[in-house]
Amino acid sequence: MARVAGKVAFITGVARGQGRAHAVRLAAEGADIIGVDSLEPDASAPYPMATPEQLDDTVAAVERTGRRILATKADVRDRDALLDAVKSGIDRFGRLDILIANAGIVTTGRPTWEVPQQDWDAVIATNLTGVVNSVAAAVPAMLQAGNGGSIILTSSGAGMRHVGNLAPYNASKAGVIAVGKTLANELAPHAIRVNVLAPGTVGTEMVTKNDELFRLFRPDLESPTLEDAIPVFSAMMPMGRPWLDAEDMADAVLFLASDDAKYITGQVLAVDQGVTNRP
C-alpha cells in the first residue's frame, strides 16, 4: 500500500542528490511534489550547485512514478520566493502535508578563526536561515488546512559531533536541530510532527565532486582525489562503507513522513552507520 497516498510534499534542494531521492521515493509512495532549487553557482561552495538539466531529470523521474511535480527555481535564502513556490503548489495540488527542508551547502574547511566572513554568512544563510524560511513558507498553509502533517529538517552528523575545520557547517547543522526541536514543541498540538534527519556521509556531489573535502580528509597529499579519500571515509565508519546512498536517506524520510512514525516527533534520526554513536 502507498505510504503517503494523496499527500503533497514541499522539498527544497530537489534538483539532485538527497532532495531528488526524497522526491522520487515519496512520489513512488503516492505523493505529489512541490520542489525548489537555487540552480545558481554558489561562490562559497567548492563544488558545483545543481543545474536546470538536473532539475529536469528530477521532474522526469517523479513523473515516471505517475505522480505530479511542480518544480521551480527558488533560493531558500529568499523567503518570498519560497512563499510563492508553496502558494503555486497548493493552487495546483490543493494541499500541503509534508515539508522536507533539505537544501544545504558546505564550504572549504578552515580553522574557525580563518573562516572568511563571506563563507560563514553563506552557510548560515543557506543551511540555517534557509530552513527557517522553508518552515515559514510551509507551516501557515499546513495549519490552515488543519490536516496535521510531517516536517523533516536535514541536519547532519556534523550537527552533533563537531569535526574540526567545519565551524560554519557544524554550527548551522546544530542550529537546525534546535529549530526542529523547538518547532516540534510548537506544532505537536496541531498534529504536525517535526523530526530531524542527521545523515552520515552520503555519496552526492557535495562529497564526490568536492576537492576541498578530499584535502580535509587527506592533508598528507597535495592534490588528493576521491579515490584517495575513500579509505579515510571508510575507516571513520563503524560499518565500514565510505558513504551511504541518497536512497538510504529517502528510506528514513519516507518513514518519518508516513503514519509509521505517527507518534514520533522532536527526534533526531541519525542514518550514519553508527558514526555519531562511536565512543
Residues lying near ligand NAD in the complex (CB under 6 A): 12-13, 15-19, 37-38, 42, 49-50, 75-77, 102-105, 126, 130, 154, 156, 199, 201-202, 204-207
Least Å from the CB of residue 37 to ligand NAD: 5
Least Å from the CB of residue 23 to ligand NAD: 11
Q: CB within 8 A of 227, min separation 6: which ones?
A: none
Nearest alpha-carbon partner for 201 in 274, 119, 266, 127: 274
Q: Give Cα separations from 75 to 66, 108, 150 (angstroms).
A: 27, 21, 22
Comparing CB distances to ligand NAD, the nearer of 105 and 135 is: 105
User: Do residues 131 and 105 make contact, with C-beta atoms less than 8 angstroms apart?
Assistant: no
Encoded amino acid at 274, one letter? G
User: Do residues 244 and 200 make contact, with C-beta atoms less than 8 angstroms apart?
Assistant: yes
Least Å from the CB of residue 147 to ligand NAD: 26
Q: Is 263 known to be catalytic?
A: no
Comparing CB distances to ligand NAD, the nearer of 16 and 215 is: 16
Catalytic residue, chosen from 10, 93, 169, 233, is 169
Comparing CB distances to ligand NAD, the nearer of 16 and 79 is: 16
**In whole angstroms, what separates CA 157 from the centre of its chain?**
13
Comparing CB distances to ligand NAD, the nearer of 126 and 258 is: 126
- Axis crossing angle, helix 130-145 with helix 167-187, rounded to the nearest 10: 10
Catalytically annotated residues: 169
